[in-house]
Amino acid sequence: MNEKNNSQNMIIGPNLDDKNLVSSVTGKDHHGQINKLDVIEERPLSIYLNSQEIVTAMTIGDHPKYLALGFLKNQKLIKENEKISGIDYDEETRVVVVRTEKESNYEQKIKKKIRTSGCAVGTVFGDMMESIEEIVLPESKIKISWLYDLAKEINQMNSLYLEVGAIHGTVLCCKNKPLVYMEDVGRHNAVDKVAGWLFSTKTNPNDKILYTTGRLTSEMVVKCANMGIPVLVSRSGFTAWGVELAKLTNMTLIGRLRGNRFICLSGDTRLDYDTEINTKN
């Protein structure tokens, strides 16, 4: 799946070498001068589960198999113990087909689809929301020094966001180390890519932290909970329902993480204040 270590020795980092992710356009600035500007690409990707087309998502185009697998997993169209018999991607038609040993009950699920507030029109199935009531995330300890380290490293890391903007990032972390960094035009796509990597590698989520540049909405909390990750962190803010669902699942929900400042609205018992930081500056 084109995994490549970057300078931070991550498993997957921002793919700045893929020139297909960026295009150059020209326009006039406020002085009337012609300028060339690099902008992020946005392409359709159709996701199939066996013979059934599920969705066509707008995406930057990297890690299509992880995106497809993570989307299906987060939408509860495939189960945790599902046997995946194959994942095929056709670059010319931009179609991913995820094949399972058993057919899904997609036809019943489609009747319960609801629209959400996600960028690029996120969608979520009814039973995905219902499953949140069955989840109680495991206890763990989170040192606040880890959060400060992550905020500094991730914000300074070379990324497509710093190169061209108009993009969201999601980073899977362990303690104070970023492991997998995914980017996309929609924050939900970036999360789904991480979910696809977790599912395909059978990585234990119990000691992980999920960092996102996007808002901490209900769907972000539900996806993180369904992935089994007990800590969700963002430099952005919250929605009330997102906070309520985080409390329901025993999730540590931390927002407005900027420099050495943050606010925790759920699961503060996990926090280990292991360092004193001068926040007056």
Confidence of residue 191 (pLDDT cuts 50, 70, 90): very high
Helix (H) or strand (E) run with residue 108 in it: helix 106-110
Cβ neighbours for 233, distance < 8 A, ≥ 6 positions apart: 147, 150, 209, 210, 211, 212, 254, 255, 257, 262
Q: Residue 71 pLDDT > 90, yes or no?
A: yes
Which residues fall within 8 angstroms of residue 153, CB to CB, at 6 or more apart? 8, 176, 178
The answer on pLDDT for 131 being more than 90 is no
How much is the average pLDDT of 113-135? 59
Report the pLDDT value the prediction gives residue 277, as an integer from 0 to 100: 60
**Which residue ranges make up each domain of the chain?**
142-272
What is the helix, strand, coil percentage profile of the chain, to 5? 30, 35, 40
Strands (DSSP E) found in the chain: 22-28, 34-40, 43-49, 52-59, 84-90, 95-100, 113-115, 123-125, 142-143, 168-174, 177-184, 208-212, 231-234, 252-258, 261-266, 271-272
Burial class (CB in 10 A: 0-12, 13-18, 19+), 105: exposed
Q: Tell me the whole-structure pTM to 2 decimals.
A: 0.88
pLDDT at 114 over 90: no
Could you report the per-residue pLDDT of 29-52, keeping only the tens digit for each? Answer: 999 999 999 999 999 999 999 988
pLDDT tens-place string over residues 167-183? 999 999 999 999 999 99
Element (H, E) at 224: helix 218-226
pLDDT at 75: 87
pLDDT at residue 125, rounded to an integer: 53
Nearest to 206 by CA among 225, 178, 219, 187: 225
Handedness of CA 41, 44, 46, 47 (dihedral sign): positive
Between CA 209 and CA 78 the distance in angstroms is: 23
Give the architecture (CATH level 2) of 142-272. 3-Layer(aba) Sandwich (3.40)
Closest CA to 234 of 205, 206, 193, 262: 262
How sure is the predictor about 17, in pLDDT bands with cuts at 50, 70 and 90? confident
What is the chain's mean pLDDT, rounded? 88
DSSP string, 158-199: --HHHHH-S-EEEEEEETTEEEEEEEESSHHHHHHHHHHHHH
SS3 148: helix
